[in-house]
Structure 1
């Protein structure tokens, strides 16, 4: 047996192994050697394995968990853009934009993400005049927290050539005033009209930004993510090149899956690329498709109507949804279907039902099976009659609990009592669906502990609303943790390597400053990560924590 380089002892480990956790005895110590878990057990048994150079880390009763996996993340954007998630008013927005502008040259673009106007006193979207007032003459584009709506300044619109004569692109909307002039508000693919005019970062700028972002994620206990691209292909290519470069240099310390653009499905299939291709650090993920938009932009597609808008925007017809799902599956490619509204969710369920029926036919018998589960992401609203249909499918669902916290006021405003059908975590889990929890960052805060708090309490970190927003949809701590660890590992076909703590598995884990299984639920949002281990070595230690 190898001599461990690290032993953690005097703690408690929640391994996410159901058999081990049902045994009634939780391990208190864990040994690591050669990037893998060597042993789990009692302090005495595991410490007996120590050699002269083994580091001994006293957990002082703290909780050890598998490293968190964020299965839906926009890494490029989060790395590069200013964070507007804590802006609470137009005055706050003006202040942040002004501070950012002061650090840039006059011709530099100002980029930001994460604003949520529904919680501002004015309760209205910013428009170009608001940005012009904050930073006159500067090119600015800022994204709403759901990433389905952005606002551009007058200078940004000018540089992008967007004016009254510009036609709405397919799948997008340019908001206009009574005279037909753009207001600066851009929905869905219309965002790309301005985004394409933004000068790209240099390779060095992107590498530096991603390494800094990686360090921030390690401080949250995150050791794996799925980088999901939006509509812009140039950013996707830059991201993949940068991730490969960092990996080849030995500096990528996140297990990373990178999605493929749905609009390139035929080319990807023709090249023979398969979902899961890569190594233990960097792999190809799902092919991403959008079937609708977002609630904030009122482009999520509903079976009924919004209180303040029509049904939303269906970006793919049902027949096309079924076609791309089947085409990808036949090529050995797993799909990630963006579906927010209950109307889009229903159409995606129908497409997966048709796929499973076809998969049982002789025509499909010789075809490769994707290495990862197909998945539907967001599922922010679902009808009760569709839950058992979803539960019968061999499909994973990705959901964003921290985004729910941002949406309380929004959904109350645009859906009213129908909001009870949104973020139905309890109902979806009870239907038997493998459920993955993630942040969709920068849509919402990537801290998994904030997500776990939202799942368990259905409250903001300040404890509002009481007793929780539609509290019947709360879930338990163990279910929430599983959605950030064992469940994504299973969905990605690597449950025998990641997501649980057991001898022989890869040593990706974190230590928290308190036991979130036993502390009052309201305290989970205040929990912190003290130690993060990736591939058997420490990548983050909170100062003063040991």
Structure 2
């Protein structure tokens, strides 16, 4: 029986990401699959009177984007909180909090995330006294852009039971002044003391937020994500339950690999769960571990002291991660390890060397290190020699971190975000956003990877430009490479005959325009599973 062609996109500039057929003009879709890719005349010849035909007017068509490190559940959970990512000063932060407190009314929690004090002209970290002054009648807690640090006001600290006598929680720091009183700054797992007393969003409200968030993801050209757990594993079971509910109710319109917290290693093994279990909509992803914190909070673990702090800190001991990862490796559960500082990356890479030396893995999908933010050349050499490894890096974070890294690491910043070296060493490089840490827009990520500039186009010449990627390399990091690493390269990642029809149409050809304009490019159309789910 001849396949029915529901949709043809023609007269386009198609970059397929398929090395066997890299450029085309038209694509035909039957059901949720790509039936044909080729010249306009050949593909249009497949149309019937029932076929929808869209003229792309020479616009760029790409495979749908995949974000391999997205705290999607957390993003949706805080959908109604203040977004500080576009707040450009301490004064702007004050105004946003004051306005939100007025809107919510006295006594209600004011929450926000995404502030980046290192790029504010004041370059000032807020404390509880600042937040008390701004919103004296509301409990307040705001998270820094890296999610490794939060600041609460006095009322928020009181509701969380945080006072002078409160000890640091495991893997967390309650910053205190010389007199022993909390400053309001909470690092790593300490903000969980605040999370524990926040009002809980109902299951139904959470599902509604997730559906809104999926719609926003489509507008950014995202058709696949890896939903990653935060440290402490607090959101593990809730996130998996929410994704399963959307799947059961036939409301899941994005492909999702759901990561599990490393704390669930034994339970996952006992249940016989393997990475990759699921279908083309919802799969079990990786077990997530944390080896250190973040450079913004000065908790990224370093081989040399920060210019303005000590060496940072390890979080989960590497020996503990290794013990769990060895068990997971033999049970078919791939692991991902957060590593920011050069000491953390060195220790984690050497850990994976030891694991690989044990013999045959049972994992069908490579283990991975996420962030690889600062790494020394000799450790990248070790990483490149491993057979069963990939990395996921976040160029969007680069644009946030330039000022911070310059101030806390100085010339050693040359070892940060070494994307080009990673790629040249043959290490599979996936790109991602770490949202809500950074902007989830993949086009902003491509811009950052190519120009190595902040969103305001500074520095004019870029930052350590020897590590810049080409547009082609960056696009692969959001398309075909994630599919190949995740074991779905036969179905996703390129515009190829027989693959699932996930594609996007852009309003500019990012391969031809001035790279400074890439971040301003818009997604005109997003197709997911053969259906148009967004049209601008």
TM-score grouping bracket, smaller chain normalisation = over 0.9
Q: Does 1:510 align with 2:504?
A: yes
Unaligned residue ranges in structure 2 (runs of 5+): none
Aligned to 2:370: 377
Q: 1: distance between equivalents of 2:406 and 2:413?
A: 6
Structure 2 residue matching 1:359: 3-state secondary structure: coil
- Asked if 1:331 is matched to 2:331, the reply is yes
Query: Which residue of structure 1 aligns with residue 515 of structure 2?
Result: 521
Aligned to 1:55: 52
Task: Give the structure-1-normalised TM-score.
Answer: 0.95
Is 1:415 matched up with 2:409?
yes
Check whether the contact 1:137–1:154 (CA below 8 A) recurs between aligned residues: no
Contact kept? 1:175, 1:182, Cα under 8 Å: yes
1:363 maps to what in 2?
Answer: none
Q: Deviation of residue 2 (structure 1)?
A: 1.1
- Are 2:394 and 2:433, in contact at CA under 8 Å, matched by a contact in 1? yes
Matches of 1:356 and 1:121 in 2, distance apart?
47
**Residue 316 (structure 1) shift:** 3.1
| 1:38 paired residue among 22, 31, 35 | 35
Q: Give the corresponding residue for 1:64.
A: 61
Instruction: Answer yes or no: is the 8 Å Cα contact 1:325–1:351 preserved in 2.
Output: no
Q: 1:403 aligns with which of 393, 397, 404?
A: 397
Q: TM-score, structure 2 length as denominator? A: 0.97
Aligned residues of 2:233 and 2:262 also touching (Cα < 8 A): no
Deviation at 1:102, TM superposition (A): 2.9
Q: Distance in 2 between matches of 1:109 and 1:247?
A: 32
Choose 349-358 or 456-465, whichever is displaced more. 456-465
SS at the partner of 2:492? coil
1:529, distance to aligned residue in structure 2 (A): 0.5
Change (3 A) 1:234 1:373: same
User: How far did residue 476 of structure 1 move?
Assistant: 0.6
Aligned to 2:8: 7
Q: Is the 8 A contact 2:329 2:362 kept in 1?
A: yes
CA gap of 1:234–1:408, structure 2 versus 1, over 3 A, is closer
> Equivalent of 2:381, from 371, 384, 388?
388
CA distance in 1, matches of 2:290, 2:311: 16
Distance in structure 2 (CA, Å) of the matches to 1:454 and 1:279: 33
| 1:114-135 Cα deviation digits (max 9, x unpaired) | 1000011221211111112221
What is the CA-CA distance between 1:317 and the residue it aligns to?
A: 3.1
Distance in 1, matches of 2:464 and 2:141, equals 35
Alpha-carbon distance between aligned partners in 1 of 2:130 and 2:123, rounded to the nearest angstrom: 14
CA–CA separation in structure 2 for the residues paired with 1:252 and 1:482: 25
Contact 2:232 2:261 in 1 (8 A): no
Aligned with residue 440 of structure 1, among 434, 440, 446: 434
Most deviating of 134-143 and 402-411: 134-143
Separation in 2, partners of 1:377, 1:349: 11
8 Å CA contact 2:131, 2:140 repeated in 1: yes
Query: Aligned equivalents of 1:498 and 1:99: distance in 2?
Result: 44
Q: Contact 1:34–1:536 at 8 Å: present in 2 too?
A: yes
Kindly indicate whether the alpha-carbon contact (under 8 Å) linking 1:8 and 1:58 is maintained by their aligned counterparts in 2. yes
| Residue 70 of structure 2: aligned partner | 73
Show the counterpart of 2:135.
135
Q: Which runs of 5+ in 1 are unaligned?
A: 361-367
- Residue 476 of structure 1 aligns with which residue? 470
1:260 and 2:254 are equivalent in the alignment: no
Please list, as runs of the form range in 1=range in 2, the aligned pairs for 1:315-354 lying within 5 A after superposition: 315-354=315-354
| 3-state SS in 2 of match to 1:216 | helix
Counterparts of 1:353-372 in structure 2 under 5 Å? 353-360=353-360, 369-372=362-365
Distance 2:406 2:280 in 1: 43
Helix, strand or coil at the partner of 2:398: helix
Partner residue, 1:365: none
Q: CA deviation at 1:207?
A: 1.4
1:527, CA displacement in angstroms? 0.9
Q: Contact conserved, 1:461 with 1:522, CA < 8 A, in 2?
A: no
Hey, what's the Cα distance between the residues in 2 that align with 1:228 and 1:335?
A: 12
SS at match of 1:130: helix
Q: How many angstroms apart in 2 are the aligned matches of 1:232 and 1:383?
A: 28
Deviation track 1:353-399 (CA, whole Å, cap 9, x = no partner) reads 11111025xxxxxxx62232100000111111111111111211010
| Superposed CA RMSD | 1.3
Structure 1 contact 301–343 (Cα < 8 Å) conserved: yes
- Is 1:251 matched with 2:251? yes
- Contact persistence 1:192–1:231 (CA under 8 A): no
Check conservation: 2:87, 2:115, Cα contact below 8 A. Answer: yes
Distance 1:527 1:274 in 2: 38
Other-structure match for 1:278? 278
Q: How does 1:140-159 map to 2 (within 5 A)?
A: 140-159=140-159
**Could you tell me how far apart the structure 1 residues matched to 2:188 and 2:340 are?**
14
Deviation at 1:232, TM superposition (A): 4.9
Query: Are the counterparts in 1 of residues 189 and 232 from structure 2 also a CA contact under 8 Å?
Result: no
1:211-240 deviations in Å (ceiling 9; x for gaps): 111111101100011111113544333322
Partner residue in 2 for 1:16: 17
- Report if the CA contact (8 A) 2:9-2:28 is conserved: yes
Name the counterpart of 1:465: 459
